[in-house]
Amino acid sequence: MAPKTTDPLSHPLLTTRALNRATLARQLLLRRAAMSAKDAVTHLVGLQAQNVKPPYVQLAARLDGFDPAELSGLMASREVGRMVTLRSTIHTHTAEDCLALRPFVQPMIERELRTFRAGLVGVDLDRLAAYSRELVEERPLPLKELKAALAERWPGADPLALSVAARCLLPLVQVTPRGLWGRGGRVTLTTAQKWFGAEGGDAAAGSAPETAVPRYLAAFGPASVQDTQTWCRLTRLAPVFERLRDQLRTFQDEYGVELFDLPDAPRPDPGIPAPPRFLPEYDNLLLSHADRTRVVPLAYRKLIWNGNQGHRTFLVDGFLAGIWRLEDGTEGDGRGTLTVRSFGALTRAQRDAVAEEGERMLGSLSSATSPSYVVRFADLSVPSTAG
């Protein structure tokens, strides 16, 4: 469905820069927030966590005085966890959201099974789900062991397809120590209900689209219907917005696309300064809108990817400005190197601000990094591996 365009006189206009500042404010990137890590994870509706470290980098960019031990402690105490939710990717969510959001996105996750149909011929999916639940609730199972057990029960099926089906059909949580700060751990799984000691409670109410959409707008708005569908990868959400319309404000972007927002959500002056911020690979800021020009200039839209792998990125004046890389012990004195590669020319003041922010980020995450780092700026040309 194409984005709905509106009568240019019917809704107030939000320029790209106005959308940028509003989104940064919702994302806690315009000013660092004095809130707990748990409150931030709740407000942001989870943190992208395909890799282990990104959730910590995300909060270091957003919270005042963030200590990685705080998020790690929440994981250890089972107040937050890692599981497949939005866009069928791993996210770090609160226990409450693990239970509530998974039913919301379940139809999208189950669509993945179509890709593996050939490997599941003759497999009763209800029996597969029941047997997988029995296995992982008896004790958390490493993914390799779960795959082997399923292959033994269904020897004629594809082992990978069996394990993917279990992941799609059940709300499986990656248990600790995986995800803890400074710790290693292989992917080991059990159900969300078993790990968090709950049977779902009010999950049905929490998973309703009418609940999820306002939360998305609070963290990513103002936004269109297509933006919201990109965030969660669900379709046919337009009727949800129509049911909520009387509770929302409406705007339009520079292309006439209708945008929705919460009435009292922050929409700062577009001229307010936006300090540099370092983001990890796959930060939700860059993945949660159909039209990403509010943060990613069109000329740079392909440059945050190396194949299907995301680069670590940084913002200048609120917009994507380049990528960064961290290497330990690269200097002769044992110091590491933070290499910053900008896509365009930076002023001296901008370079100084980026370097200061890089040092601040490294200081926040210092418990698992080298004692000190050198910040280097690479050539201003676009890296050949990008795109």
pLDDT tier at 336, thresholds 50, 70, 90:
confident
The edge-to-edge listing of strands for the beta sheet with 47-48 is: 47-48, 90-94, 80-84, 172-174, 188-191, 141-142
123: left (phi over 0), alpha (psi -120 to 50) or beta: beta
Could you tell me which of 287, 382, 332, 254 has the C-alpha nearest to residue 89? 287
Tell me the residue type at 343.
Answer: F
Is the model's pLDDT at 370 over the cut of 50? no
| Average pLDDT of the residues in 177-197 | 94
Is the model's pLDDT at 164 over the cut of 80? yes
| Average pLDDT of the residues in 221-230 | 98
Average pLDDT of the chain to the nearest whole number = 91
Is the model's pLDDT at 364 over the cut of 50? yes
The 10s digit of each residue's pLDDT in 166-179 is 999 999 999 999 99
Percent of the chain at pLDDT > 70 equals 90
pLDDT tier at 327, thresholds 50, 70, 90:
confident
What sign has the CA pseudo-torsion 94, 324, 341, 287?
negative
Instruction: Report the relative pairing of strands 319-327 and 80-84 from DSSP bridges.
Output: unpaired
Pick 349 or 310 by higher pLDDT. Answer: 349
3-state helix, strand, coil in the chain (%, to 5): 45, 20, 40
Kindly provide the b/e burial profile for residues 7-19, where b requires at least 16 CB atoms within 10 angstroms of the residue's own CB.
eeeebeebebbbb
Q: Which of these ranges, 110-114, 325-329, 337-341, has the smallest mean pLDDT?
A: 325-329
| Average pLDDT of the residues in 255-273 | 97
Is the model's pLDDT at 4 over the cut of 60? no
Is the model's pLDDT at 201 over the cut of 50? no
Is the model's pLDDT at 351 over the cut of 90? yes
User: How high is the pLDDT of residue 386?
Assistant: 37
The 10s digit of each residue's pLDDT in 42-61 is 999 999 999 999 999 999 99
User: How high is the pLDDT of residue 310?
Assistant: 87
- pTM over 0.85, yes/no: yes
